[in-house]
Amino acid sequence: MHPALAGLIGAGVALACCLFVYALVRGKHDWRRLEAQRMADKASRELHDALHTLQSGAMLVGPHDEILVVNEPGVALGLARGSRVGFADLLEKVREVRAAQQPYRGPVLREFHPGEDKLELTSRITPMVDENVLVIADDESSQKRVEAVRRDFVANISHELKTPIGAISVLAEAVDAAKDDPEAVERFVRRMQLETSRLAELVNQIIDLSRLQSTDPLLNHDVVDVAEVVTEAISRSQERANQRDVTLMLARTAQARVMGDRWQLADAVTNLVQNAINYSDERARVTLSIMTVTADGDMFVEIKVSDNGIGIKPEDQERIFERFYRVDYGRSRQSGGTGLGLSIVRHIAVAHGGTVRVWSRPGQGSTFTLRLPAYLGPAHDTDEETR
């Protein structure tokens, strides 16, 4: 064989071997790349599925601040706005975490529009591969508000309970010390009975308020004649009115019915009537009325309780439905008020789908209006049909 031909064949064989080796190496590299891409896609799908199972707001932010994945709670919290991060403070934290490659745990402040109160979200922001950033966020503001209300409620209850309990304890010691003085013993016993009644009323109202704040506050769900509710409230309040020489009048009565719990509604109207009696001067007049009104195409029943008493200052009107808030603490204590009556009225109104509001002027008196959705069904319903 000619040497030149042999050399050409050898070079061809060598080139073929090189190409074969290159093909093997390249194929192995491509296979690894494809396998890595497949695993990445699988991981992305699993991450996508995992984020959508979370109850917390969650989203994955790409290297250019684009949104790769966001779940429904995240959309509800405003973590994303279209394909971009939803608000400035969160975007700033995402960029800081990406640059430092260090996770962040803490609050981020959301403000959709200038002038609005900012919402504080509890967040966990974590750097991921390829400059991606994972954001997990929760809105704990409602829980914080509930916890604050609970702390205030416990503190107020502790203070309110200590007062009659302390008084009873002191009076018991006074009775013991005055056991040889029948007149003093009788006087101290009357005071003990008064404080005991006040304590019992406070405990009962705390129980009522706790039940009204449950998920199902209505013990009964019946068709209720509003006139019967008002009559019951007047009957309950008559003795107190007689003590203060206050006249109770039913000025106007409309035939009206509502759906709800009769005794809770009677409690609400009774609280309004007794509140009017307590904050009126002697020989005053408290007027009740029942009327139907139409608003926004719906019919409502309004129970109005009016007095010509001391009235309420505008700054106090915004707070009178708060628990334990008293316009006149001295008068409230003298009358045995607990500071829970109007709060209970508001909760009963809300439980029945209604509202309670007040009109008042200092020195001119007050009018409380309990508005409830009117029942427009058949006139004769049994309990079984209305449950």
Confidence of residue 306 (pLDDT cuts 50, 70, 90): very high
Q: What is the pLDDT of residues 367-381, one digit of tens each?
A: 999 999 998 877 554
Q: What is the pLDDT of residue 309?
A: 85
- Answer whether residue 23 is part of any domain: no
Q: Are 199 and 338 in contact, with CB atoms under 8 Å apart?
A: no
> Mean pLDDT for the chain?
79
Closest-CA residue to 272 (of 329, 229, 233, 314) = 233
- Asked whether residue 215 carries a pLDDT value surpassing 70, the answer given is no
For residue 162, the domain's CATH number is 1.10.287.130
Q: What is the pLDDT of residue 387?
A: 41
Residue 44 within a domain: no
Specify whether 248 is located in the same domain as 264.
Answer: yes
Residue range(s) defining the domain that contains residue 192: 146-214
Using the CB atoms, write b or e for 87-123: b if 16+ within 10 Å.
bebbbebbeebbeeeeebeeebebeeeeeeeebbbbb
- What is the rounded CA–CA span in Å between residue 32 and residue 110? 44
- Kindly state whether residues 322 and 252 are assigned to the same domain: yes
Share of the chain above pLDDT 70, in %: 73
* One domain, residues 237 and 134: no
C-beta atoms surrounding 346 within 10 Å: 21
Domain co-membership, 95 together with 120: yes
Statement to judge: residues 208 and 223 lie in one domain: no
Q: How many other C-beta atoms are found inside a 10 Å radius of the C-beta of residue 209?
A: 18
Q: Note the pLDDT tens digit of each residue in 235-268.
A: 999 998 998 899 999 987 778 999 998 989 999 9
**Domain for residue 4, yes or no?**
no
- The answer, yes or no, to whether residue 296 has pLDDT greater than 90, is no
Number of domains in the chain: 3
Report pLDDT digits (tens) over 42-82: 446 777 778 888 888 999 998 888 888 889 888 888 888 88
Identify the residue whose tokens are 């971009």: 84
Tell which of 159, 185, 214 closes a domain. Answer: 214
Task: Read off the amino acid at residue 131.
Answer: E
Sign of CA dihedral 319, 270, 153, 155: positive
Q: How confident is the model at residue 40 (pLDDT cuts 50, 70, 90)?
A: very low
Residue 6 in domain:
no
Same domain, 104 and 66: yes
Residue 44: the pLDDT is 65
Which residues face 119 on adjacent strands? 110
- Does one domain contain both 233 and 378? yes
How far are the Cα atoms of 56, 177, 193, 226 from residue 381, in angstroms, in the given order?
Answer: 46, 61, 44, 15
Q: Are residues 83 and 160 in the same domain?
A: no
Instruction: Give residue-wise pLDDT tens across range 320-355.
Output: 888 777 666 555 555 555 678 888 899 899 888 999
Residues 161 and 243 in one domain: no
